[in-house]
Amino acid sequence: MAEARGRFAPTPSGELHIGNMRTALLAWLQIRKENGMFVLRIEDIDRQRSRRNYAETILRDMRWLGLDWDEGPDIGGPFAPYTQSERLERYEAALAGLEQKGWIYPCYCSRADIMAAASAPHGLESEGPRYPGTCRHLSQVERLDKGKSKTPSYRFAMPEDKSISFHDGVAGLQCYSSDSGGDFVVKRSDGMIGYQLAVVLDDAAMEITDVLRGSDLLDSTPRQLMLYEALSLKAPRFAHVPLLYGPDGKRLSKRHGSVTLSSIRNAGVQPERVIGILAYLSGLLDKAEPVKPGELIPHFQLQRIIREPVVVTTDLLMELSSYT
């Protein structure tokens, strides 16, 4: 059996909050329980949003909480580099291969075009309406003509009427239709590589066997599974954990007070207290008591993780921050 390899792959576009760190903790526990290798990867392909100082803060916050890693941007490893902005040549090579095999095509539509044409239900929440396939069947002459006035993005051509199913370690059996989300962007018109492609290539290259992440990425998984298939790569096992919500029922964010690790640390809260609260919110402890990450390893099981969205009470927020 292959050695378990997991990862935490944050985007350095802001400071980590307790929702991010809960995911990191659970991913770390999963791999440490299997005596595997834990990888830290910085996903900074969005250069407009990513900042070097945030990447440095991520490493600092994780060390403060007691979460270590075996490979990463600061210590290297056999699959370096561990920063996406240093892996661009790999992405371009994969794109060339996908284009040669007919898996991707140029798209000349603007977001306004897609909004105007969309009559089907919305696709992935972050991407707006389902792409109606306008450019998928353009002739070569039409593409050349459109290319005179616009630089295209590139979309992955999802197979039609294909059933995609997988067993999620937390959410259970998941079944999707391949056309439910439409063809998706793998390279933007400004040259930025799409998240779906980059994450698949990186996880495969780093031999990741287990991906534990937030449930907001659950509906991205069918797209990624199709990319694994198109690229002839082996897909990892997936586990998507419910997100954290504030007392008002809205997704946890700065509106709920100082919930970043920096603000919590500056308030004098001990890391063991933070770990205890995160473990309690995840179903790993019966009460929110201080604990070190290593003390949770022997008792960790995916089956124990709470399956429903988790509400962080006002009392717990007050323990962690200046929330009033």
Which overall architecture, per CATH, does domain 5-85+236-300 show?
3-Layer(aba) Sandwich (3.40)
Inform me whether the pLDDT recorded for 36 exceeds 90.
yes
* Both structure tokens of 1: 């059996």
Query: What pLDDT is recorded for position 255?
Result: 66
Confidence of residue 143 (pLDDT cuts 50, 70, 90): very high
Contact 196, 235 (CB under 8 A): no
CA dist list (Å): 82 to 30, 37, 69: 20, 14, 12
Query: Which of 197, 199, 163, 200 minimizes the C-alpha distance to 179?
Result: 163
- Among 32-36, 71-75, 255-259, 311-315, which stretch is predicted with the lowest mean pLDDT? 255-259
Please state the separation of Cα 5 from the chain's center in Å: 16
Parse the chain into domains and list their residue ranges.
Answer: 5-85+236-300, 88-198
pTM, full prediction: 0.92
Tell me what the mean pLDDT of segment 140-169 comes to: 93
Inform me whether the pLDDT recorded for 256 exceeds 80.
no
How are beta strands 104-107 and 153-156 bridged, if at all?
antiparallel
Inform me whether the pLDDT recorded for 181 exceeds 80.
no
Inform me whether the pLDDT recorded for 122 exceeds 50.
no
Confidence of residue 286 (pLDDT cuts 50, 70, 90): very high
- Among 22-26, 150-154, 175-179, 290-294, which stretch is predicted with the lowest mean pLDDT? 175-179
Query: What pLDDT is recorded for position 132?
Result: 82
Rounded to a whole number of angstroms, the CA Rg of the chain reads: 21
The pLDDT tens digits of the residues spanning 208-243 come to 999 999 999 999 999 999 999 999 999 999 999 999
pLDDT > 90: percent of the chain: 73
Tell me what the mean pLDDT of segment 80-109 comes to: 96
Tell me what the mean pLDDT of segment 289-313 comes to: 94
Give residues with Cβ within 8 angstroms of 248, minimum separation 6: 256
Confidence of residue 120 (pLDDT cuts 50, 70, 90): very low
What SS3 string covers the chain? CCCCEEEECCCCCCCCEHHHHHHHHHHHHHHHHCCCEEEECECCCCCCCCCHHHHHHHHHHHHHHCCCCCEECCCECCCCCCEHHHCHHHHHHHHHHHHHCCCEEEECCCHHHHHHHCCCCECCHHHCECCCCCCCCCCHHHHHHHHCCCCCEEEECCCCCCEEEEEECCCEEEEEECCCCCCEEEECCCCCECHHHHHHHHHHHCCCCEEEEEHHHHHHHHHHHHHHHHCCCCCCEEEEECCEECCCCCECCHHHCCCEHHHHHHCCCCHHHHHHHHHHHHCCCCCCCCCCHHHHHHHCCHHHCCCCCEECCHHHHHHHCCCC
Task: Specify whether domain 88-198 bears CATH 2.40.50.140.
Answer: no
Contact 97, 231 (CB under 8 A): yes
Inform me whether the pLDDT recorded for 64 exceeds 90.
yes
For 167, counting Cβ atoms within 10 Å of its Cβ (0-12 exposed, 13-18 middle, 19+ buried), the class is: exposed
Confidence of residue 84 (pLDDT cuts 50, 70, 90): very high
Query: What pLDDT is recorded for position 323?
Result: 40
Query: What pLDDT is recorded for position 226?
Result: 96
Cα 155-161-164 angle, rounded to 5 deg:
80
Query: What pLDDT is recorded for position 29?
Result: 98
Confidence of residue 2 (pLDDT cuts 50, 70, 90): confident
